[in-house]
């Protein structure tokens, strides 16, 4: 009996030695859980560094004043967030300027008329003076559709016209009312497109007269694009309550407003 008790004691001691690390790990884990439950979680306070540079989230400036000239945008006009307006630029009621367009009024005046639209990646510029003696400012009048990737420089587009995409209008060129310039066309300096005609080519040449039904469709296209711009406009309200949520979040993180 004594030898049996001695053997069982040795077996128990050896098993405890082999599982000592498991027992100590379990005890340490239990102690850490008790300490965590008893002590409150630490409060992290975020402070803004005074050396931090405050960048514009768009990565560029949309409105660029030049000297005494500041771009003017009507209340109900839609200007995409990545559009650049510089200097003497007037975007009138109901008009829209779409993504990536650049309107440089640094040398002369640029006007986008009522319910007109300047579509994606267009570049609109104006020279100091026109060699033809016509006004050097760039005038886009009402119900005009300017297709994507167009280049307009010191030209005049009268009401209810369509300028096809990738077209170029040079200094002093004139597009009279109820006219269409086909895509990819180039209108040389001083060239005039008479009213109610379709022109195309490089350089642009007369193709044919527009029918009455075609002239009626020109303002309808401008109105349709205006209706589409309202859906985008609702996503960029000039006055909203989002700033209240931003101020609330900054206060919760301890950032001075």
pLDDT at 63: 85
CB atoms within 10 A of CB 149: 18
- pLDDT tens track for 163-179: 999 999 999 899 999 99
pLDDT at 4: 47
d(CA 229, CA 101): 15
Name all domains of the chain by residue range, CATH numbers in brackets. 63-235 (2.160.10.10)
d(CA 71, CA 88): 6
pLDDT at 22: 52
Cβ(31)–Cβ(25) under 8 Å? no
DSSP the chain: -HHHHHHHHHHHHHHHHHTHHHHHHHHHHHHHHHHHHHSPPPPP-----TT-----TTSS-SEE-BTTB--EE-TT-EE-TT-EEEEEEEE-TT-EE-TT-EEEEEEEEEEE-TT-EE-TT-EEE--S--TTSS--SEEE-TT-EE-TT-EEES-EE-SS-EE-TT-EE-TT-EE-SS-EE-TT-EE-TT-EE-TTEEEETTTTEEEEEPPHHHHHHHHHHHHHHHHHHHHHHTTS-SS-SHHHHHHHHHHHTT---
pLDDT at 58: 46
Q: What is the pTM of this model?
A: 0.68
- pLDDT tens track for 57-105: 445 668 888 888 889 999 889 998 889 999 899 999 999 999 999 999 9
pLDDT at 64: 86
- pLDDT tens track for 8-45: 555 555 554 555 555 555 555 555 545 454 555 666 66
Sequence-ordered list of residues with C-beta below 8 angstroms from that of 228, at least 6 positions apart, any chain: none
On average, the pLDDT of the chain sits at 81
Cβ(152)–Cβ(124) under 8 Å? yes
d(CA 216, CA 218): 6
Cβ(144)–Cβ(150) under 8 Å? no
Examine the pLDDT at 223 and tell me if it is beyond 70: yes
What whole-number percentage of the chain has pLDDT above 90? Answer: 52
pLDDT at 82: 86
Tell the burial category of 215 from Cβ atoms under 10 Å away from its Cβ (0-12, 13-18, 19+). middle
pLDDT at 57: 45
CB atoms within 10 A of CB 33: 10
Cβ(147)–Cβ(167) under 8 Å? yes
- pLDDT tens track for 133-148: 777 899 999 999 999 9
What whole-number percentage of the chain has pLDDT above 70? Answer: 72
């Amino acid at each position: 009996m004594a030898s049996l008790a001695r053997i069982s004691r040795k077996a128990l001691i050896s098993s405890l030695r082999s599982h000592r690390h498991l027992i100590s790990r379990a005890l340490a884990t239990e102690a850490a859980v008790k300490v965590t439950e008893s002590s409150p979680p630490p409060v992290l306070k975020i402070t803004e560094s005074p050396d931090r540079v405050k960048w514009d989230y768009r990565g560029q400036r949309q409105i660029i004043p030049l000297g005494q000239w500041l771009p003017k945008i009507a209340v109900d006009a839609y200007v995409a967030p990545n559009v650049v307006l510089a200097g003497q630029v007037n975007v009138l009621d109901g008009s829209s300027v779409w993504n990536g367009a650049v309107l440089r009024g640094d040398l002369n005046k640029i006007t986008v008329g009522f319910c007109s639209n300047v579509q994606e990646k267009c570049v609109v510029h104006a020279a100091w003076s026109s060699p033809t003696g016509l006004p050097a400012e760039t005038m886009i009048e009402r119900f005009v559709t300017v297709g994507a990737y167009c280049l307009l420089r010191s030209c005049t587009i009268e009401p209810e016209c369509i300028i096809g995409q990738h077209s170029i209008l040079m200094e002093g060129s004139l597009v009279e009312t109820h006219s269409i310039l086909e895509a990819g066309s180039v209108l040389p300096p001083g060239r005039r497109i008479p009213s109610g005609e379709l022109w195309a080519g490089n350089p642009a040449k007369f193709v044919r007269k527009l029918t009455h039904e075609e002239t009626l469709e020109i303002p309808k296209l401008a109105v349709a694009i205006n209706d589409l711009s309202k859906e985008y406009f609702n996503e960029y309200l000039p006055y909203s309550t989002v700033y209240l949520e931003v101020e609330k979040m900054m206060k919760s993180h301890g950032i001075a407003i």
